[in-house]
Chain A
Amino acid sequence: MGWVLALFCWCSGAWLTPSRHLTVAGATGSLAYLRRAAADFEKTYPPNTVALSGGGSIAGLVEVSLGRVDIGISDVAPQRQWTRGVDLSSLALGRIPLLIIAHPGVGVSSLSTATIRALYSGQVTSWAQVGGRPDPVVVMTRPLSSGARQVLQAKLLGDRPMSPDAVVVLSNGAMLAAVQETPGAIGFVESGIVPSRVALMAVGVTQFHSQDGATWPYAVTPTAYWKKSSSVWVRLLAEFLATRPYRRAFGLYPRAS
């Protein structure tokens, strides 16, 4: 029985030690940046440790409101149904351009907003209808919990519902890989740089270049949310995440510009 007791004491000790283990969850578009910034935070403020996980914007809001994580990252503004009225503080990390991408073989390099709506609503089913090759259109989307999807719906699709034929992929990275690999695919990614091995669509006459990240009209704004009652370390971490000078290298542009 001795080893059981020893194990119990060891576990209890680990639980009872005052810990500064901070947790962050939510939107996946800024996860690469958050990994780097969290590692820097741990180095700057030892013995703090930071655990990161995805799950999507709405998950970030729900989890922080329920107190399951310290900071929730969300591309969409909190709604009462997700936060249950919990009072949250917020700090924007920056803005990430939302880019419309397609498989390189579609034969089209620019789309009007009306065409994007028609493609995403399932009205246009062949790229030949919009001047491309006669390949069937494969619409790729993200789950309902994705902030990027919400932004696409609000800023580009308006009240036109997304095609129910859309293939659902779970993350930003999975979307990029799926569009690269699937002939006829159209999708959207959060990225501050021109993604490789896909056709980047100009929207109307506006073509995205990496130096245009701050002015590109379609963008998500990943924002850190935390409970007002959280510890000073949580606020410090949020401020740290929102102020790193290397944000731009990860496609996060300052909001003001």
Chain B
Amino acid sequence: MKGGWNDERMPRYVTRGATLLFGLMALSLMAVLVVGAWPLLREPRPLTNLMSPLWSPLTHRFGLVPFVAGTIAVTVMALGLAIPVGLGTAITLARLMPQTLQPAGVKLLTVLTAVPSVIFGWWGLLVVVPWIRGQVGGPGFSLLAAGVVLSLMLMPTFSLLYYQALRAVPSRYQEASDALGASPDQTLIGVVLPCAFPALVQGLFVGVARALGETMAVQMVIGGQTLMPKGLAAPGATLTTQILTDVTVFPQGTRGHAVLDLMALLLMVAMYLLVRAAERWGTRS
């Protein structure tokens, strides 16, 4: 069947073509952002304006510090809440729950990871924002609300990743620890967690990447304020939410659009560094 559809070369061409297409898409995405941000990067002191805490597009002031601060605050809060709960859930699922119930638990977590972010945002609007308003006053739209909503989005992801990390520890290590008379807690802390550590770290970086990139749910509850955050219960904005808010205001070719391109580029670089860190730290044993 040489030259026909069943030719052995055909699948090879298709897969290579798909890989090439994927690579080209990734490169073109980077190229679009770099070209878009280039007029800004070419300016004499590009960082001076961008490092300012003032975002006022109408007066051509494009300080990114409030968004970088907002991004860091929301991400740290979300991780601080999600990691302990995610790890706890994973330990329960992997070590305490009967084997027969584990598949159901995993399925439930898998379903939760697939819930669209807008639903978490909606839930945040209905529950988290009023709760924060009731506890600390103010509008309720805040970095704290964004952190809580994001942490809930991350918990199933962390739980699943950590569950898989714990399950990957060879059972003979645990059996050896048990045979030496270690208690279940001693086995967990002294054997299982250290063995799973690289995978746990890898999961952490995956979670950080997701937290940095999340936009919709965060946008719905953060308040969109472009000032330096006055506290965790105050409104704010992140790099992604501000791109979403202002992307339609600045057509291509304007300085504002170049700033948005640079913000997107910053996020891409941050993601790349996280992936590299995950590769580096995740493979260390």
A: residues with CB less than 8 A from B are 1-2, 4-5, 55-56, 58-59, 62, 81-82, 84, 136, 138, 143-145, 161, 164-170, 174, 177-178, 181-183, 185
B: residues with CB less than 8 A from A are 5-6, 10-11, 14, 56-58, 125, 129-130, 133, 137-141, 219-220, 223-227, 235, 237, 245-246, 248-249, 251, 254
Separation of A144 and B250 alpha carbons in the complex (Å): 10
In the complex, 19 of the A-B residue pairs with CB atoms within 8 angstroms, ordered by the A residue number, are A1-B6, A62-B248, A82-B251, A143-B224, A143-B245, A143-B248, A144-B57, A144-B246, A165-B225, A167-B141, A167-B225, A167-B235, A169-B224, A170-B220, A177-B125, A178-B139, A181-B130, A182-B140, A183-B133
Separation of A164 and B223 alpha carbons in the complex (Å): 12
Neighbouring B residues of A182 by C-beta, 8 Å: 133, 139-141
Neighbouring A residues of B254 by C-beta, 8 Å: 81
Neighbouring B residues of A174 by C-beta, 8 Å: 220
Neighbouring B residues of A166 by C-beta, 8 Å: 225
Secondary structure type dominating chain A contacts: mixed
Closest CB in chain B relative to A30 CB, distance in Å: 17
A138 & B139 in contact (Cβ 8 Å cutoff): yes
A164 & B227 in contact (Cβ 8 Å cutoff): yes
Separation of A81 and B10 alpha carbons in the complex (Å): 49
Closest CB in chain B relative to A187 CB, distance in Å: 11
Contact residue among B6, B129, B225 (Cβ-Cβ distance under 8 Å from A164): B225
A143 & B249 in contact (Cβ 8 Å cutoff): yes
Contact residue among B56, B140, B251 (Cβ-Cβ distance under 8 Å from A62): B251
A167 & B248 in contact (Cβ 8 Å cutoff): no
Separation of A169 and B237 alpha carbons in the complex (Å): 12
Separation of A1 and B11 alpha carbons in the complex (Å): 8
Interchain residue pairs A-B with the least CB separation, the first 10 = A168-B224, A59-B248, A1-B5, A145-B248, A167-B223, A145-B249, A138-B139, A144-B249, A143-B245, A182-B139
Closest CB in chain A relative to B227 CB, distance in Å: 5
Q: Which residue of B lies closest to A161 (CB)?
A: B58
A145 & B225 in contact (Cβ 8 Å cutoff): no
A164 & B57 in contact (Cβ 8 Å cutoff): no
Interface centre among B10, B130, B133, B224 (most CB of A within 10 A): B224
Neighbouring A residues of B137 by C-beta, 8 Å: 136
Closest CB in chain A relative to B210 CB, distance in Å: 22
